Structure 1
Amino acid sequence: MGRTTLQLDTSFDVVSPATGAVVGSYRIFDTAEVEATVATARGAGDWWAGLGFTERARRLDAWRGEITRGRGELARIIHEEMGKPLSDAKLEIAMALEHLAWAAANARRVLGPRQVRPNLLSMNQECTLEYRPFGVVGVIGPWNYPVFTPLGSVSFALAAGNAVVFKPSEYTPGVGLWLAERFAEVVPEQPVFQVITGLGGTGAALCRSGVGKIGFTGSTATGKRVMAACAETLTPVLMELGGKDALIVDADADLAAAADAAVWGGMSNAGQTCLGVERVYVHTDVYDEFLTELVARAAELRAGTGTAKIGPITMPKQIGIIRHHIEDALARGARALLGGAGAIDGQFVQPTILVDVPEDAAAITEETFGPTLTVSRVRDMDEAIERTNAGAYGLGSTVFSRHNGKRIADRLRTGGTSINAYVAHATITSLPLGGIGDSGFGRVHGADGLKEFTYAKATTRQRFPLPLALTTFTRSETTDAIVDRLVTVLHGRNR
């Protein structure tokens, strides 16, 4: 598993955020080692692509079986490295397996060659469209969902026929190595899926290594640095970045269901979720009743170890951001109905619910990434939509309304919206997932996710010569006149 102790200048430690104990020591790949890994991946990618869709699907299904049988061990590693409760770690694995299964089963249908109908002026051409792999894809993964999120890129890139070099977060390297070891058991012939461990410099080296594409998941600030590094070699990028997702509660909503979704969306994984609920906008007619339900449910939760349903904050530096957002809101007139300034104890943050927070406060405009919710009263859904769309992020959104959900959702500027359920669109295997604005661009999951790791290849074959030769210097004036008349018939009558 790579957990042997190495020299300090070539390794880094992973520390449990819950206990402070060192749970592993891992190798730091330098630039030369990253480039060598990518070089071996190129040959492996050619071999993997040559297996074809059917054999790749068989191998990916076998990998899925290995992950399933070892999910208890994998969940334990997740728990040790980033602190997530074991039950939530197992749920994350289950969701990742669903998307892996979809990618393997649907790659041929989405990416395989298909005939395309030509237009009238090229009716003599047989046209084929297919989606071909880049060869090697680099994936830089996050720590908050160290299986579900990176596999949204890794498994789809593999299904498309690419070799993958995966740089997991320095907070969860053991998860990445475990996944690669299980893959090697079902694909022992070639290094199709390799893991490089390290810090930021290792990720930067991967960006500059000449891979066909980089799939990155992380903060918006880091995403900008990744893009800058990739720009040096014109390496295309997929950006899954931060979010400041809102949950909207209409006057006709099921308030119990909405409150339950807000608590789970805001507090699960200690709030460390890009698609997590951070803002709640509630119709004034049901605001007080909703707040009562929300606070009652959140008050039953506790952050801690053992049987606690909320784990620690994984990144130590995030504690300062969470504290700043809470204290800034309170200093500007907000009230804490639960938690507040005293909610932070070491790496643990107790559930916090803030009301009367100004819309320009950091707790509203910036990603908090902690178990906090801001709840705001709105006069109607027009105001809720306006406030939701005002931010720079545009990842996900949730709407609770018995009769107006679709009308509200259609007006939200986000990559996805779930009505009367939290983040359901991220769990549906055939739907794409991604954002706009500061939340990034590109998509994982579904057909869009498969195409993300390929390039479109168009091929034509002339079946017979046209009576009217168009692309030649021997084209006659008669031909030009006939084409001119055809253009008028085909397009000139449109108004």
Structure 2
Amino acid sequence: MTSTTPQSLGRDVPSTIGGVAGAPPATRAATLVGRVTGGKDSAPVETTSPFTGSLTATLPQATDADTRAAFAAARQAQQAWAARPVAERQRVLVRLHDLVLDRQDEVLDLIQVEAGKARIDAFDEVASTALVAAYYGRHSARILRPRRAAGVIPALTRAGEVRHPKGVVGVISPWNYPLALTAMDVLPALMAGNAVVQKPDNQTALPALWLHELAEEAGLPAGVWRVVLGRGSTIGAALVEESDYLCFTGSTPTGKALAGQVAQRLTGYSLELGGKNPMVVLPDADVAKAAAGAVTACFSSAGQLCVSVERIYVHDGIREEFTRAFVERTEALRLGAALDYGADMGSLTSAEQLAAVDAHVADARERGARVLTGGRARPDLGPLFYEPTIVTDVPESARLFREETFGPVVAIYGYANVDDAIERANDTKYGLNASVWTRDTRAGWALAARLKAGTVNVNEGFAATFGSVGVPMGGMKESGVGRRNGAEGLLKYTESQSIAVQRGLRLRPFRGMPPALWTRAMTVSLKALRRLPGR
């Protein structure tokens, strides 16, 4: 692995310290932090940049009372917002789409400074945000419009379905994709007519606040979307108890705990949780393309991506060739911290994540695994850098075999037949994302349907499904409940209501008519109705 030459961009964006990303200008950070609701009565939290360890921002922390007050205020603002025509709400997202693309340099810097990403990975978040805004800015009215349905008695029963917003949606966002996951969860909730109270992670709060600022500039009424900051131990109960629907992205253990709490209130929730995502390389795959795709699938955002690949199953006939090509491409990656496109991979985001990655690799080594490349931290580049790492011969006893690493580490395994590869790929408690590589795309589609994962990409790692906003995204098994994106990602934030108008004939016997005669007549009618089109 090589390192890029850090250089200052020489523009009014986050300052550079020693040529690498340091802290955003104090005035800009203060402007964004000023959008946070509450926090006057508790000690603030200071965050630092993964690239340098320097101060990034001082963040107010909400109390339980602050959070409940935010929900109360949002509930009042929601009524007027929900009363607006959907087409009017859509226009806010159309304007937001343009603002995000036009001012992307601002948030690219913020994402790099707070999350430690390479700029190309930060741009993935910008692109995803724009795609989400465009999709719901165009299709929300169609998805939400009242739907007619067949009534029980043709011509005499008119039936249909209407959608109502849940009310106030609570969104708990993770640190790893602070802009994209804010957009994917908050924007459809708003389009459905809800208000939102969001809790971003402290470490990467500024990109969410930046999008919040742009949304109000695009026409979102002030107060409809509120942002609170704080630890789950302090404000978690308020988020669960005050939300009419809860949306959470994070670890599986935390998701299970939240689901149990929400169940006591009988309100809805969606959870996107952990993953141990497989990639299956079929014997007919283009080895060079598969190796290049694996680099992106495994090492984007330093592997800190819920849908990144951590296991690769390669047919024995091409395993040696693939491994050689994959290692070569991985070793050519440029690691760096400059606020430009010179680096292919940035750093990890936290010391805790660095320790977890290092522990997984060390444990695998001790149990007999071989490290083909990488496998060490790079403090010469920054406090949280870790080399992109490829291992093989990982035994089942190693933590790396089954546990999610959430870092730039991937294990390669061979297989003899496709059925074996599918069985091993599915042999996990998770089911978030998967990848298949083959020259025969029809066979790839068929194999993809056999993998137990919420999204499967053929000849791609994750971006094909991640960027296809019109189809749902979510996990099977312990990778989550519910879906984001597509119609499901909007409708989950609504309550469906069925309305039927009955005219003329009552659905009970006429006065004086024997019930037995009525039921025989209805039986004949029901048999006839089954043959009508549309029934």
Normalising by structure 1, report the TM-score. Answer: 0.93
In the alignment, which residue of structure 1 is the partner of 2:411?
374
Is 1:244 paired with 2:276? yes
Deviation for aligned residue 1:134: 0.6
In the alignment, which residue of structure 2 is the partner of 1:329?
364
Q: Structure 1 residues 473, 213: CA separation in 2 closer, same or farther (over 3 Å shift)?
A: farther
Is 1:289 paired with 2:321? yes
Deviation string, structure 1 residues 63-84 (Cα, Å, up to 9, x no partner):
2223223211111111111111
Is 1:200 paired with 2:237? no
1:388 to 425, 438, 442: 425
In the alignment, which residue of structure 1 is the partner of 2:69?
36
Amino acid at match of 2:302: A
Which deviates the most, 405-414 or 281-290? 405-414
1:141–1:169 Cα contact (<8 Å) kept: yes
Is 1:409 paired with 2:452? no
- 1:100-179 alignment to 2 at 5 Å? 100-120=133-153, 124-179=156-211
Amino acid at match of 2:103: G
1:186 to 206, 215, 218: 218
Deviation for aligned residue 1:348: 1.1
Deviation string, structure 1 residues 91-145 (Cα, Å, up to 9, x no partner):
311121111110121111111102111245x762111112221111111111111
Deviation for aligned residue 1:386: 0.5
2:308–2:461 Cα contact (<8 Å) kept: no
In the alignment, which residue of structure 1 is the partner of 2:476?
436
**SS of the counterpart of 1:145?**
coil
- 1:218-233 alignment to 2 at 5 Å? 218-233=250-265
Deviation for aligned residue 1:303: 3.4
Q: Structure 1 residues 335, 458: CA separation in 2 closer, same or farther (over 3 Å shift)?
A: same
Is 1:311 paired with 2:351? no
Q: Structure 1 residues 105, 474: CA separation in 2 closer, same or farther (over 3 Å shift)?
A: farther
In the alignment, which residue of structure 2 is the partner of 1:482?
521
**SS of the counterpart of 2:59?**
strand
Is 1:99 paired with 2:132? yes
1:51 to 76, 81, 84: 84
Amino acid at match of 2:492: E
Which deviates the most, 164-173 or 232-241? 232-241
In the alignment, which residue of structure 2 is the partner of 1:456?
496
Which deviates the most, 239-248 or 219-228? 219-228
Structure 1, unaligned stretches of length 5 or more?
none
Q: Aligned partners of 2:238, 2:412: CA distance in 1, in Å?
A: 41
Deviation for aligned residue 1:45: 1.2
Q: Structure 1 residues 220, 396: CA separation in 2 closer, same or farther (over 3 Å shift)?
A: same
Deviation for aligned residue 1:202: 5.0
**SS of the counterpart of 1:285?**
coil
In the alignment, which residue of structure 1 is the partner of 2:21?
none
Q: Aligned partners of 2:393, 2:221: CA distance in 1, in Å?
A: 60
Deviation for aligned residue 1:475: 6.3
Q: Aligned partners of 2:509, 2:386: CA distance in 1, in Å?
A: 71
Amino acid at match of 2:206: G
Deviation for aligned residue 1:257: 1.1
Amino acid at match of 2:308: G
In the alignment, which residue of structure 2 is the partner of 1:12?
45
Deviation for aligned residue 1:247: 0.7
Amino acid at match of 1:75: L
Deviation for aligned residue 1:176: 1.6
In the alignment, which residue of structure 1 is the partner of 2:120?
87
Deviation string, structure 1 residues 169-197 (Cα, Å, up to 9, x no partner):
11111122221122222336441111111
1:132–1:454 Cα contact (<8 Å) kept: yes
**SS of the counterpart of 1:348?**
coil
Q: Aligned partners of 1:183, 1:472: CA distance in 2, in Å?
A: 61
Q: Aligned partners of 2:356, 2:514: CA distance in 1, in Å?
A: 69
Q: Aligned partners of 2:509, 2:425: CA distance in 1, in Å?
A: 53
- 1:349-364 alignment to 2 at 5 Å? 349-364=386-401
Q: Structure 1 residues 377, 26: CA separation in 2 closer, same or farther (over 3 Å shift)?
A: same
Q: Aligned partners of 2:115, 2:77: CA distance in 1, in Å?
A: 32
Is 1:22 paired with 2:55? yes
Is 1:71 paired with 2:104? yes
Deviation for aligned residue 1:11: 0.9
Q: Structure 1 residues 206, 179: CA separation in 2 closer, same or farther (over 3 Å shift)?
A: farther
Structure 2, unaligned stretches of length 5 or more?
1-30
Q: Structure 1 residues 311, 471: CA separation in 2 closer, same or farther (over 3 Å shift)?
A: farther
In the alignment, which residue of structure 2 is the partner of 1:427?
467
Q: Aligned partners of 1:276, 1:232: CA distance in 2, in Å?
A: 33
1:85–1:310 Cα contact (<8 Å) kept: yes
2:42–2:63 Cα contact (<8 Å) kept: no
1:72–1:90 Cα contact (<8 Å) kept: no
Q: Aligned partners of 2:374, 2:41: CA distance in 1, in Å?
A: 40
1:299–1:338 Cα contact (<8 Å) kept: yes
Deviation string, structure 1 residues 248-295 (Cα, Å, up to 9, x no partner):
000000111111111111111010000001000000010000001100
1:398–1:421 Cα contact (<8 Å) kept: yes
1:34–1:205 Cα contact (<8 Å) kept: no
Is 1:270 paired with 2:305? no
Deviation for aligned residue 1:206: 4.1
Q: Percent identity?
A: 35
In the alignment, which residue of structure 2 is the partner of 1:348?
385
Which deviates the most, 17-26 or 58-67? 58-67
**SS of the counterpart of 1:19?**
coil
Q: Aligned partners of 2:512, 2:408: CA distance in 1, in Å?
A: 70
Deviation string, structure 1 residues 377-398 (Cα, Å, up to 9, x no partner):
1111111100110100000110
Amino acid at match of 1:191: G
Q: Aligned partners of 2:185, 2:40: CA distance in 1, in Å?
A: 32
Deviation for aligned residue 1:476: 2.6
Q: Aligned partners of 1:316, 1:474: CA distance in 2, in Å?
A: 79
Amino acid at match of 2:425: T
Q: Aligned partners of 2:175, 2:415: CA distance in 1, in Å?
A: 35
Q: Aligned partners of 1:26, 1:193: CA distance in 2, in Å?
A: 18
Deviation string, structure 1 residues 424-461 (Cα, Å, up to 9, x no partner):
11111211100111110111111111111111111111
In the alignment, which residue of structure 1 is the partner of 2:24?
none
